[in-house]
A and B are shown apart, each in its own frame.
Chain A
Amino acid sequence: MRRVRVVIFLKPGVLDAQGQAVATGLRALGYEVEDVRVGRAVELALPDGADVEELCARFLANPLIEEWRVEEG
C-alpha cells in the first residue's frame, strides 16, 4: 500500500478569487501579504502500482484550470 498526498492549485495564470478574498481578510487584520493562493489537498491510500498521475488528470484535478503535485508518504 502506498500513501500519497495530492496538492492541487489553480494554474498560475488563472485568477484565484478565493485566494484574493483570503488576502483581503489578512490585510484587514493588519498583515502584509503580496499574494495568496488557496488550493486543496487530497490524501489517498492506493496499491503500489497505481497510476496517480492518471487519476489526477482525469478526476482529482481539472487540467484545463488546475495543476497538481504528488507527495509520497
Chain B
Amino acid sequence: MRFGVVTFPGSNCDADCRWVLREVMGFETESVWHEETDLAGLDAVVLPGGFSYGDYLRAGAIAATSPVMLAVRAFAARGGLVLGVCNGFQILLETGLLPGAMLPNLGARFRCEWVRVRVERTDTPFTSRYRPGEVLRMPIAHREGRYYADPATLERLEAAGCVVFRYEGENPNGSLHGIAGIRDETGNVLGLMPHPERCAEGILGGEDGRRLFESMADWIRTKRREAVWQRS
C-alpha cells in the first residue's frame, strides 16, 4: 500500500502528513511534487494543509492549476483515494473535485484551536473505523473555512449523504449546515478542514485522527483482495 503526499509551493503540513503515514501508521509514503503528472503505483493521495501560493487570489485557487491536479483528477476517476486536509480541501473545491466554495470565517479571524466534530457517515473509505455519530476532538487552523454552496447543491449533498463531518456545538467559522468535511458522490474523494494528521499520536494531545488513516488502509486492502478474487 502506497500513499503520496503532494507538496505545493506554500504547503506546510506535508511533512506532518508524511510523518504520520510513514512513521506512525507504517505505510509506504512518498512525496509528490506539484509538477508531477504521473501518480501510478499510488493507492491514495493526500493534499495537505498550508498556504499554497500564499492563498493569493483565493485559498487553493492557484494550486488548482498545478499539473499534479490533472493527475489527481484522473486518479480520482480511476477510484483512487484522495484526501484533502484544510488547504487541501480548499484546493479540491477550487478544482471542482468537490462541490462548493470556501469563504473567510465569520468574524474574519484565523481560528487555531481544538474543535468537536461529529462523524455523520461511517460507510466511507475514510471513516469505517469510527462509530456512527461519534464526536471527535480535532484541531483546526484556518482563515477560510466557511463552507458555502447554493441551496440546491446543499440539498443534494445532504440527500446523497455527502456530509461526512459536521462541527458539534460551536460552529467555528460559520460553515453552512456546520459542514466540516464532505465527500464526492462516488465516495473516494474527501475534504475536511480539521487536521487528522495533527491528532494521530497521544503526544500531540489526541489520537482521534488516527482511525481516518486506518480506515483508508482497510479500504485499500479490501479493494486489493477484491481485485485478486476477480482475477482468479
Contact = CB atoms under 8 A, between A and B. Distances in A.
Interface in A16-34: 17-18, 20-21
A17 B145 CA distance: 12
Majority DSSP secondary structure for residues of B touching A: loop
Interface residues of A, number: 12
Interface in A40-59: 59
Interface of A: 10, 14-15, 17-18, 20-21, 59-60, 62, 64-65
Contact of A17 (B58, B94, B108, B149): B108
A21 B174 contact: no
A21 B61 contact: no
Contacts of A14: 103, 148
A59 B148 contact: no
Interface string B183-198: 0000000000000000
A10 B104 CA distance: 11
A20 B103 CA distance: 14
A14 B144 CA distance: 14
A64 B57 CA distance: 15
Contacts of B104: 17-18
Interface in B111-166: 146, 148-150
